[in-house]
Structure 1
Amino acid sequence: MSVQVSSQQLQEFLDFAVEVAKKAGEMIKDGFSKKKNVETKQSNADLVTETDQAVEKWVIGYINERYPSHKFIGEETTDGDVPCDFTDDLTWIVDPIDGTTNFVHSIPEVSYSMGLTANKEVIVGVVYIPVLDLMYTSMKGHGSYCNGRKLAVSSVEDLKQSIVIHEGGSSRVPAVVDTKMKNIHSIVNHSHGIRAYGSAAINFCRVADGQGEAYVEYGIHCWDFAAGMLIAEEAGAYVMDPDGGPCDLMKRRVLVACGEKVARELSAILTHLDMGRD
């Protein structure tokens, strides 16, 4: 049986997500200015700090207190060797710090990302950049906003006139790195250029706000882009799998653009990577 969510509940869930994001943001800001204890996970570029872990632990407890029947998927509490238990139930998908490498190096593009799914679709998305005090919010069917300002994607219609956001990612597997470098070469030759902000959630918000026409990444996780994807879609963006099919939250790759034409032009010049599933 599918989950039914009323308009009143949707607003309640968004208000809750904003409340959580503000409190998580205070923890992130506090950790941002202090010396960090850094550990590595899958590679020397896959980092985690005490703040990542502390924020997620607090968020899990706060959600369980308010909505004990809801499910939770988070970066620091997910076993990378076990598939995510992703169901139709109301599920909070959280990245406590998206942009941990930025956080470690005191670069302010560090975000807290929180999406809520029902029937495997994102219905609420919040991305907060606490150091810059930028709060991006969205509810399905109700548009997206930054600090109350309504967002809209760029009106550019051609890839050759576009800025494309693309990240190197944390994988250091030679074949993966080589393919990404090949894709960077292709993008540079078919666009105005490339940008990388170090946070998938922020990259989606940039596209949502017309600050770049497209974003593609291979190797990210559902917690990196659940919230940002909705924010971009509600601002008018076209989201799909990089190979042109429907976007799958668990497939670890995504392409978003200001319009379908730019999205498909970008897809056509890429060499696609299969990064597995969450």
Structure 2
Amino acid sequence: MMYDVIIVGGSYAGLSAGLQLARARRHVLVIDAGQRRNRFAATSHGFLSQDGQAPEVIAAQGRSQLMAYPTVTWVQGNAVQALQQPEGFSVRTDHHATFHGKRLILATGVVDDLPDIEGLEERWGKHVFHCPYCHGYELDQGRIGVLATSPLAMHHALMLPDWGTTTLFTNGVFTPDADQQAQLDRRRVSVEHGAVRRIRGERADLELDDGRVFNLDGIFTQSRTRISPLAEQLGCERVDGPTGRYLHTTEMRQASVPGVFAAGDVSLAAGSVALAVAEGVRAGVGAHFSLIDG
């Protein structure tokens, strides 16, 4: 069967894109590996009408609503290859099934490569975060650490005093210059320059190499992000973002390869459920317009 659109990724962006196309009565295939980026978080915040809801509940509700449309097909699996064909695109899964579509939407999200610090990975999404808007309020104006992985930690450090008492741990990554230090001083951000040994305790107690321990209610840091190899296979243009490469797209989220669209974190150097849903709308509508235009 030749689908109108194949969507790779069935999380928030992919579901949102699919909904626009299903309501246009287009035949849509969603291929999903079941690896939401926010799967480690207990609650999701900042998405109107769903604030405080569990991420898996939002995703399940979205899937249920999308699958109520008879022109939508769902396949569980990991898309491992995407090729451009004369009449569209083919996508092969890790189960060796191949599907064909006139248009392709990449809603694959990103993979987070975390700082290599003992105790951090198991606290990711629980007591170690990347987005103050998603998780800052719940720290209840408590003690917040910013763990630097690059000079971009300044961005977090200057934001987070609105959510609590903030300490920047430079971890030997960089030293704020005079202007940066003045900005930190204005925001009443403390600075610690020692190397971080580990994160321990029930929440996020940060221990330095000199043995000092800082009892924190939460830590914010920046991962390095990786996008799906499907984009490279297709020859889509990628650009460098603050934490990793992402897909270059037009306003309607068409990639540099005609017929390929992108939605969510894969094409936006920022991540939240609300943004992913909005980007999915753009990509779904963009793909529909392209089908109309032929």
TM range (shorter): under 0.3
Greater strand proportion: 2
TM-score, reference length from structure 2: 0.24
TM-score, reference length from structure 1: 0.24
Greater helix proportion: 1
